[in-house]
Structure formats: C-alpha cells, structure tokens
Chains A and B, each alone.
Chain A
C-alpha cells in the first residue's frame, strides 16, 4: 500500500510539472497582456489550438516595460531556460539575442520573406540569417490639431512656423510635444529629425556617422525648438510617450510626435479634450533630407533552448500570418508588417491614417542600427543627446563625443573584424 501511495505521488508530480499532458505538447509565449492586447491574443491562441489539437499554448506573462522585459529575457536565456518557447522581442533586441546564440535561426523554406516590408525584416536578420518574423510595426507619426493648423506641414521649417502660430493665435501653451527623456524613445525622435536632414546614425560598415554636419543640424533644430523658438517646453526633456500624449490630449500642444497607439487612445471625448480635432501625417523633412519615420514594433523569435521547435515555429507562423495581422490591426490599430494586408478593405477603416499613407510610412521607416551592441550604443547617444538638449553642451560637441564613444565601444569588441570575416564558419 505504501508503494501505491508513492506511485500516485510520482504520477502527480509528473503530471504537474511535465510538458506532456495527455499527449499534448505544451509551449509558452511571452506577452505583457495589457489592455486590449490580452483578449485579442488569447482569442488567436484559442484558434491556433483548435487547428493544432496536439499543441497547447500557454501565456507567460512578462512586464510591459521594455527595459524590464529585456532584463528578464537575459536572465532566462542566459540560464538556458526553455520557457517561454516563443519570445516577443523589441525590434532592437533581435541581433543582440541572435549574436548571443539565444535564438533559433528560422530556415524554413515556407517563409515568404518578400511578403514583409524590407525594413521590418532587416531588423530580424543577423549575420545573414533570419532569426525572427515581424509581428507588428510601429512608426513615428506627427499629430496635429486640425482646429489650429491649416494642413500638414510640408517641411520642418513649416512645422516650426505652424507651431509658433498655434501658440500665438490659438492660446495653446506648447507648439510641439515629444518624448525627450533620456531613454530609447529619444533616439527614435532623433532618428526622424536626423533622416529629415539627410543623416544617419551608422553607415553599412558600422562606422558611426552621428557627428556629421547633417546630424548637428538635426540636433540643433531640436534644441532650437526648446531654447530659441520656445515652441517646445523644457518639460519634454522628462517626457516619455504617456506624458507627451497627456499634454496633447489635454489641449496643451499644437503638434505631437508619438506612435499610432495614441490615435485611438485620444478618441474618447469623455477623457480627451481634443477628440475629433486631430489628424496625423508622417514627419516632414528639411531640404536635403527625406521624410523619416522611426521603426518600432515587435518580432517573434524562437528560444534556442526550446524543447518543441516545430510547435513553436507553427505558432510564430500562425500569429504573423495575414489573417491574424489583419485582425490585430482592426482590433487595436497596430500596423501590419505584411504589404498585402494593406489592400484589405476592412483595414482601411481601422488605421489611424489612410492605409496607403500607412503603407508608405512603414515602407520608408528606418530601422535603428542593427547590431548586437545596439543597447550600449543607444545609451551613449541618449546621454549625449540629452545633455545637448538640456543646454549643458553644444549639439556639435555632444554629437562628436557620442560618435567617438560609440566608435570606441565598437572598436573594443572587434565586431567590425568579425563582420568582415568570410562567412564560412556557420554557428
């Protein structure tokens, strides 16, 4: 009788901790499951499980905060944990995680890479191999008050003029609001002005070009908004997405640079003073540059330590398939990463901007530098940008310092030599 009890206990443990529950393969997917995102993902997972009765998918809840999520993933993957099997990655992490050997390359011939926007796909590659599929795209957009601004500004100069006029004529305290706190969001804002003046952070052979005259002009334009023309308040230097949105939503700003999520978030007239009084357009450019939107969003990758790579791959393909992307866009307004989805009639009503403009914005969106050192390089840049914007140093000195430190960081790792080596030894 003792033996029976022990057996029962063993069976219980096996059931509780094991992956094979009545023959089903159990895999997990990381998700922050906040707001409308959660129910939608659950609905899609239920559908997936009905199509694949042998697979059970569980949600592994993680923090909504990107920095904390990054930290969690680093701890898990470095400890070779196989859970979560499918990882939701921020666009700038994929090369870092792939280089660290934490992701499975996606070498399946059934992946039609041409169906995705090239920019969104570029951020999924590392050393010539594909490590993730783009899930949804975030692009930086310029929001404007339709009651204060006659039309979308055609150039950056006109943006400044309209902002000034909005303050004088409209009695609005701020001309433009953007996220200027020292964090990743500041880099995305900078990337757009940088492209608008014809510059870039890094060239194709990983030389940092952020000290170039175009970059200095871009940063000076941002600094002038605060210090010279006084169309942006000093406060922007402490603002993230939400503080920026609150300023615009409370009717305190003529323009705002933010992501697509803000469009639906400000539509409710019970909470928003600007409901029905705003429109969006791509960020304009200066002479010599081109309109640039920073590319954000999420990608799905497979944990290198997963025990069920096939099930995980099936899930990644399912979630990034056109039907699920369309459903996601319609439900929460996030931009699809597949070109064809933009032809769907139901999408046209769902997005913040006309579907053709949205497609153009994603098409021309600029990924931030794709390198495993990105987090470190971005941090250097954030610190110097913030110092210049706060008036502690001149823009040219700040950017020269940033370029020097970023180049030194790359130099120290020998990454350029590694990138130049003939690609014979596969990982």
Chain B
C-alpha cells in the first residue's frame, strides 16, 4: 500500500538477485540461447549441399513446407502412437509391480534390485538384443511361437508395419517399466500406514483402500512418472534407430529420427531447425500441461 519500501526487503531482494543471477545466466547461455538460435535458423533457408543459395531469410517457408510434408505428419503420428501405447502400458504394469514390491515378502530387496536390471542396460544394446530375438531366421521369438503353435512358420517381423511395432513396444515396455515401478514404489512408501489401518478398522475392502487411499495419495508421484515417461517417449530416437531404423519404409519412423535424417543426412539445416522447433513446442506444451496438473494438486493439498 505505502510507497515507502522496507529497506531490509530491498536489501534482501538485491541479495536474492545476486544469488540467482549466475544460475539464470548459465541457463540462458546453455538453454535459452541455443533455443532462440534454432528458432532463428528455422526462419532461413540453409542447405549445406548448395552453399551458392546462401542463407536467405525465408520467413515461415520451412513451416509451410512442414505442414505439407506427409512424412512429417506420419512421423508425428508414429511418435504419438508410441508415446500413448508405451506410457500407458508402463504405468499400469509399473503400478502393479510397485504394489507387489511394496508388500512384505522374503527376498524383497533382491527382487527390487533385479527388477531394475533392464533399466540399467544401454538402450542401443537392448534394441539390438530385441532385434536378434525377433530375427526371422535365428530369432527366439519365432522359435517359441512356432513351438507353441501360434505361428505355422517363422515370420519376418520387420517388413510389415503392424508386426514391426510389436518388438518396438515390447522392448520399450520391458526396459522402462522398472523405472516407473521404482518411482511409484518410492511414492507408495511415503503413504502413512495408519491411513490403511484406519480404513481397515472402518471395514474398507482392499479394493476400496486402493481406490480411495493409495491412488489419490500417489497422484503426485504418478504425475512425475508421467512427465518423465511422456517426454522421454516423445523424444524416442535410439531405440528405433537401432531396432527398426524407422522401417519398413518409414512405418516406424519417429519425429526425432526424421529430424536427424533431415539434418545429418540431407544437410537441410533450416528445415531441420523448423522440425526441432516443432518438437520443442510440443514437448514443452506437454510438460506445461502436466506441471499444471501436478501443481494444482500439490497446492490443493497444502490448503
């Protein structure tokens, strides 16, 4: 209300600014500057294969081309499909595993440690492993499926769009579910046991306890897991690069792989920058939506 500022407050404020400045300038240097640079690049025609064209400013040309580029739309579709399917599977399975690991049983420590193993394997190694398992000639997947009579004869997984997705989804779920499970397990352990006891005394069933105690209290953790997994899945690159190479054709090509091809194979830096900007905008929007959801819930609890 009053125009007179509290001298201590301004002093505090100055100190705060002094403390924050280094961190903010580092962020500006390593995050904001490259981002703005990429945006600036995306407004130019820059094709390294044809330096005689120069680097003219072309406004939104790259974005117009993008909107008309069927390969961009299909790779965006593949990325969304991959994200929705893997993240939902990982969340459901991870929740189940977390519940199981949270209950008391012998060898619980060992079970928790071993469940993390797939997560510890480098993605490219895991992808090659799955590639071998689904190899048409020598793969164990064909051998098993033929042995139990699901398949009549070995099939070639990677030449049909629909069947090529199967090893892709399986390997990502196999690899990342443990991560989700461990995150959720940490959340489960923070829930006050007395709440369960009280619910039990009140005669609540196990189902009711899960639905009305566990899940509401686990929501912040679920959101954290969702943020991590969604953003990771949306930027998927290495798994598909090593497992299918985006094929057959471009049927499993995610947007990150397409961007990589445009920049490092076709040397179209301007167009590639436009693709990168679009990926950034989408992931940033997703992150904002999640943080919004998470933030509201957190502040709701505090009140």
Q: Which residues of A contact B (CB under 8 A)?
A: 67, 70-71, 74-75, 78, 96, 99-101, 181-183, 234-235, 237-238, 243, 247, 372-373, 375-376, 379, 383, 386-387, 390, 392, 413-415, 418
Of the 9-residue stretches B11-19, B232-240, B261-269, which lies at the interface with chain A?
A: B261-269
Are B245 and A235 within 8 A (Cβ)? Answer: no
Q: Give chain B nearest CB distance to A249 CB in angstroms.
A: 13
Alpha-carbon distance between A390 and B265 when the two chains are bound, in angstroms: 25
Q: Give chain A nearest CB distance to B260 CB in angstroms.
A: 8
Asked if B156 is at the interface of the complex by the 8 Å CB criterion, the answer is: yes
Are A375 and B50 within 8 A (Cβ)? Answer: no
Q: Give chain B nearest CB distance to A371 CB in angstroms.
A: 9
Asked if B136 is at the interface of the complex by the 8 Å CB criterion, the answer is: yes
Are A238 and B159 within 8 A (Cβ)? Answer: yes
Q: Give chain B nearest CB distance to A253 CB in angstroms.
A: 12
Alpha-carbon distance between A375 and B48 when the two chains are bound, in angstroms: 13
Alpha-carbon distance between A75 and B260 when the two chains are bound, in angstroms: 12
Kindly identify which residue among B52, B53, B137, B264 contacts A74, using a CB–CB cutoff of 8 Å: B264
Q: Give chain A nearest CB distance to B252 CB in angstroms.
A: 11
Complex contacts, B247 vs chain A, CB 8 Å: 181-182, 386
Q: Give chain A nearest CB distance to B125 CB in angstroms.
A: 16
Are B265 and A182 within 8 A (Cβ)? Answer: no
Are A234 and B245 within 8 A (Cβ)? Answer: no
Looking across the interface, which residue of chain A has its beta carbon closest to that of B53?
A414
Q: How many A-B residue pairs have CB under 8 A?
A: 77
Alpha-carbon distance between A160 and B188 when the two chains are bound, in angstroms: 65
Looking across the interface, which residue of chain B has its beta carbon closest to that of A234?
B156
Are B136 and A390 within 8 A (Cβ)? Answer: no
Are B159 and A99 within 8 A (Cβ)? Answer: no
Closest 7 pairs between A and B when the two form their complex, measured CB to CB: A372-B49, A237-B159, A376-B266, A182-B247, A71-B264, A235-B136, A234-B156
Kindly identify which residue among B52, B156, B265 contacts A375, using a CB–CB cutoff of 8 Å: B265
Given the interface contacts A96-B49, A235-B137, does A392 sit within 8 Å of B249 by beta carbon? yes
Alpha-carbon distance between A360 and B247 when the two chains are bound, in angstroms: 36
Given the interface contacts A182-B248, A234-B136, A392-B249, does A415 sit within 8 Å of B50 by beta carbon? yes
Seed contacts A375-B265, A390-B159, A415-B50; 8 additional CB < 8 Å A-B pairs: A100-B51, A101-B51, A234-B159, A238-B158, A375-B267, A383-B250, A386-B247, A386-B249
Are B156 and A183 within 8 A (Cβ)? Answer: no
Q: Give chain A nearest CB distance to B188 CB in angstroms.
A: 43
Are A96 and B267 within 8 A (Cβ)? Answer: yes
A-B contact pairs, 7 of them (CB 8 A): A67-B265, A99-B50, A100-B51, A238-B156, A247-B137, A372-B50, A390-B159
B257-280 CB contact bits vs A (8 Å, 1 = yes)?
A: 000010011110000000000000
Given the interface contacts A235-B137, A390-B160, does A100 sit within 8 Å of B49 by beta carbon? yes
Q: Which residues of B, 201-260, contact A by the 8 Å Cβ criterion?
A: 245, 247-250
Looking across the interface, which residue of chain B has its beta carbon closest to that of A71?
B264
* Range, interface on chain B: 20 to 34
Kindly identify which residue among A181, A376, A386 contacts B265, using a CB–CB cutoff of 8 Å: A376
Alpha-carbon distance between A243 and B47 when the two chains are bound, in angstroms: 36
Looking across the interface, which residue of chain B has its beta carbon closest to that of A427?
B52
Given the interface contacts A70-B265, A235-B137, does A182 sit within 8 Å of B249 by beta carbon? yes
Are A373 and B156 within 8 A (Cβ)? Answer: no
Kindly identify which residue among A99, A238, A372 contacts B136, using a CB–CB cutoff of 8 Å: A238
Alpha-carbon distance between A413 and B264 when the two chains are bound, in angstroms: 17
Alpha-carbon distance between A379 and B52 when the two chains are bound, in angstroms: 24
Alpha-carbon distance between A390 and B161 when the two chains are bound, in angstroms: 10
Complex contacts, A67 vs chain B, CB 8 Å: 265
Complex contacts, B51 vs chain A, CB 8 Å: 99-101
Q: Give chain A nearest CB distance to B160 CB in angstroms.
A: 7
Q: Give chain A nearest CB distance to B243 CB in angstroms.
A: 12
Are B267 and A74 within 8 A (Cβ)? Answer: yes
Complex contacts, A379 vs chain B, CB 8 Å: 261, 265-266
Are B136 and A373 within 8 A (Cβ)? Answer: no
Looking across the interface, which residue of chain B has its beta carbon closest to that of A102?
B48
B47-69 CB contact bits vs A (8 Å, 1 = yes)?
A: 11111110000000000000000
Are A235 and B156 within 8 A (Cβ)? Answer: yes
Q: Give chain B nearest CB distance to A62 CB in angstroms.
A: 15
Looking across the interface, which residue of chain A has its beta carbon closest to that of B158?
A238
Complex contacts, B136 vs chain A, CB 8 Å: 234-235, 238
Give the interface centre of B48, B51, B156 by most chain A CB atoms within 10 Å.
B48
Are B248 and A418 within 8 A (Cβ)? Answer: no
Are B267 and A100 within 8 A (Cβ)? Answer: yes
Alpha-carbon distance between A74 and B261 when the two chains are bound, in angstroms: 12
Complex contacts, B266 vs chain A, CB 8 Å: 375-376, 379
Looking across the interface, which residue of chain B has its beta carbon closest to that of A415?
B50
Complex contacts, B135 vs chain A, CB 8 Å: 238
Are A390 and B248 within 8 A (Cβ)? Answer: yes
Complex contacts, A414 vs chain B, CB 8 Å: 50, 53
Alpha-carbon distance between A414 and B249 when the two chains are bound, in angstroms: 27
Complex contacts, B261 vs chain A, CB 8 Å: 379
Complex contacts, A383 vs chain B, CB 8 Å: 249-250
Are A70 and B248 within 8 A (Cβ)? Answer: no
Alpha-carbon distance between A182 and B246 when the two chains are bound, in angstroms: 9
Alpha-carbon distance between A304 and B261 when the two chains are bound, in angstroms: 24
Alpha-carbon distance between A247 and B135 when the two chains are bound, in angstroms: 13
Q: Give chain B nearest CB distance to A67 CB in angstroms.
A: 8
Kindly identify which residue among B48, B52, B248 contacts A78, using a CB–CB cutoff of 8 Å: B48
Q: Which residues of B, 114-173, contact A by the 8 Å Cβ criterion?
A: 135-137, 156, 158-160
Q: Give chain A nearest CB distance to B66 CB in angstroms.
A: 14
Looking across the interface, which residue of chain B has its beta carbon closest to that of A237?
B159
Alpha-carbon distance between A386 and B136 when the two chains are bound, in angstroms: 17
